[in-house]
Every structure is written in C-alpha cells, then in structure tokens.
Amino acid sequence: MKKARHLDNLQKKIYSMVSIGVTDNTINQGYDIISTVALLANLAAAFAITFEDVKEAHGDLLHWVELITVLFFTIDYGLRIFCASQHYTGYSDAAAARKYMLSGYGIIDLLSFLPYYLPAFFPAGAAVFRMFRVVRIFRLFRINAYSDSLTLIGNVLKNKRTQILASVFIVILLILASSLCMYSVEHEAQPDVFKNAFSAIWWATSTLLTVGYGDIYPITVLGQLLGIVITFLGVGLVAIPTGIISAGFIEEYQKATRFADIQQEQDVRFIEASIDEGDVWAGKTISEIGMPSGSIIALVLRGKQTIVPRGDVEILLGDKLIICAESATEGMLEDVKEIILRQNHKWNGQKIRDIDISRQSFIVLVDRAGKMLKPHGDLVLEEGDKVLMFTKENISKYSREYSI
C-alpha cells in the first residue's frame, strides 16, 4: 500500500512537471523552459541544415543539436506514458498509457523522435522517415498553455468542426464535379493537357482555391463558359469556411465579455496569513495542515508566483496564504468575484477542467449550500453553486499593496 502511494505521488510530481503551464515551483517552470527551448532549437537546426554553406560550416554542431533534442523528446515521451494515469483519471496505468499513445498529442510526440531512429533499422526508407520529422513542429501547440489567444483558436476550430467539415465536403464535391465536366469538354481538344480526370482535378483545385496557375486552361468556347461558372461558384463556396471561422471568433469573444457580465460584486472576503520563522505550518504540505471547520486555503502567494494549493504543495517560509473563512471580518482581501450558477447556466453539470475560462483566472472555492468545496479538475459544478474567482490582475494588485 505504501509502495502504491509512493508511486502515485511520483506520478503526480512528474505529471505536474511535464504539463505545460504548471509553474508552481522551480522544477516545473524550468522543465517548461527546457521543453520550449529544445523544440525551437530542433526546428532551427532542421531549417539551418538545408542551407549548404551553413551545413558545411556548422554541420557537426547542428547534428549534435538534433541528437540532444531528440533524446529529450524520447525521455519526455516516456515520462508522459509513466504518468498518463494522472491525466486520464479512472483508468489503470496500462489503459491510461494506451489512451495517451493513441491520442493526437501522443502520436505527435511519438513521431517527433521515432523517425530519427528508424533509418538505423530501415536504411532504404531514410528519405521518407526524414519527411515525418516535420510532425514535431506540431509540438508547438503545447505552448498554447501560455496563451489565451492560441486557446481561442483551438476552441473555435473545435466548436465549429462540424460546420467546417460540411463546407469542406461541399468544396470537394464541387472540385470533383468540375473536374469531370471539364475533362469531358476539353479532353478531345487538348488530349495532352486534360489527359485524365486527375489533370482536370488539378485545374479545378487551382481555379477554385486560387486565381489559377495558367498551366492548364480551357480553349473551347464551352470549356471557357464552364470555367466562368465554376470560378463564380468557387468564390462563394470557398468563402464559407472563412465565414464560419469568423463567426466562431465573434461567438468566443462574446463568451469572454459575457463572463464579465455574469460576475456579481459580493462582499466575499479572505484572510491573509504570513508564514514566518517558527510557524508550525512551515515545511508541511497542504494535505498535512489541519484547517479549522469552515475554512480553506484558497491560494499560496510565493514571491511573484501564484500557486494553486494542491495537496502535495509544501508551505515554505515567507509564503503568504489566502485563507477563506466564513466568519472572517478583519484584515481581509476584497478582490474576489462570486458567480452564482443559476438555472440553465452553461457551467451546470460540467467538470471544472472542462469549463471555458481565461487562463488568467483561478477558481479558488466552490460554495455548495454553505459547504465549502476545494476545487479540483473532476469536481462537477451544480445549479446553485457559488463559484469564487480570483484573477491574476487582482493578484498582482494585491501583491503590490502588501509588497510581496
């Protein structure tokens, strides 16, 4: 039992370390920096080595950069498999590892380093394997943990995927129909140009999606008339995905502004406590601290860092704890917003990990019928819950006021 608990704690620490955007301690923050630098260095080396003069002058250095970064990607992949059960909660270690390996990110992580090793076993396919290395550029999407803007783009594509796929399907049908029509009309007049249906597909694609390259074009009157009609149809139909994505951005922006509208100014107050020399809490983890009934540690302010108090977070000297207490009346923090989940609120029935909020905001407490619940990813919000939010902007303001 003790061994299983030790393994679980180790998996939690590693999961916290490899998860981009978790910067509650120096190790996690350092790993994020190393991961980002390794990816950028690898991509820079991949581009630089394509220039002959650079390859001749710095070829050995570029190969070493690629080797070291690929080794890092390999280790990172192994660590993510090891702690996959922390991300896919409710699954066994083996099932969670399999779920990660078959996920989109898992496949991208695998292809970011596997093609580097394959030529050693299959020399004949070296050129093809090298082509797959470009997949590692998709690891850049992990950096979106630092950017709400990149997250917004992902949300738009995810929410509008059905409409986008439908519009793309219509465009593909138009391309196929146009190519067959143009092949039937132009093949006899230009047998060397419109040799087959694929030649016509190339013409239809370049005409519908661009202004045309001019390498293939109709010369018969019927073909030219057909080309005019197809061009007009293309202008309208190809613009559909653009309109869908634009509408999605507007909806996401309205959600963000609506978030401010549903916030209600309440006299929600928090006690601030400093951890000084000799304090009995110093050196203990959050889970080891016995909090009085009706109170909870909402945030840990450590220098310029804002730490969400998970159970394994250790309290250090100099930390400032933001403690929520129902009966608190003095020495309190006021920059907290309360959201009451009314009927039909979009957060009702959702897990905290799935709700759409800015990465600049923290849920510090959930008040359910007078019972204070510590927020965690799997906590399902219910109608009538009072959700207490604290933003980084207010945290910065508070830190300046208390000269943290």
According to the model, what pLDDT value does residue 327 have? Answer: 45
Cα–Cα distance for residue pair 234/238, rounded to 1 Å: 6
Q: Which of 39, 38, 58 is nearest to 48 (CA)?
A: 58
- The pTM (predicted TM-score) of the whole model is 0.52
Is the CATH code 1.20.81 the one for domain 2-146? no
88 torsion bin: left (phi>0), alpha (psi -120 to 50), beta (else): beta
According to the model, what pLDDT value does residue 81 have? Answer: 92
DSSP 51: S
Cα–Cα distance for residue pair 68/39, rounded to 1 Å: 11
According to the model, what pLDDT value does residue 78 have? Answer: 92
Contact 150, 144 (CB under 8 A): yes
Q: Per-domain residue ranges for the chain?
A: 2-146, 161-262, 270-401
According to the model, what pLDDT value does residue 75 have? Answer: 93
According to the model, what pLDDT value does residue 64 have? Answer: 93
pLDDT tens-place values along the chain, 404 residues long: 555 777 878 888 888 888 765 555 688 788 888 888 888 898 888 888 888 888 888 888 988 998 999 999 999 999 999 998 888 877 888 898 999 899 888 888 888 888 888 777 777 666 666 666 666 676 766 665 455 556 677 778 878 888 888 888 888 888 888 888 888 888 888 888 888 888 888 888 887 777 666 778 888 999 889 888 888 887 777 778 888 888 888 877 776 555 544 444 444 456 677 887 777 788 888 777 766 655 677 778 877 677 767 667 788 888 888 776 544 433 334 445 667 887 777 788 888 777 766 555 667 778 787 676 777 777 888 888 888 776 655 444 444 443 33
Pairing state of beta strands 332-333 and 270-274? antiparallel
Could you give phi then psi for residue 307, rounded to 5 degrees? -110, 125
According to the model, what pLDDT value does residue 33 have? Answer: 85
Q: Which residues contact 322 (CB under 8 A, 6 or more apart)?
A: 270, 271, 272, 297, 298, 299, 300, 301, 333, 364, 390
Number of other CB atoms surrounding residue 240 within 10 Å: 16
Architecture of 161-262 per CATH?
Orthogonal Bundle (1.10)
In CATH, what number does 270-401 get?
Answer: 3.30.70.1450
According to the model, what pLDDT value does residue 148 have? Answer: 55
Could you give phi then psi for residue 62, rounded to 5 degrees? -65, -40
According to the model, what pLDDT value does residue 268 have? Answer: 45
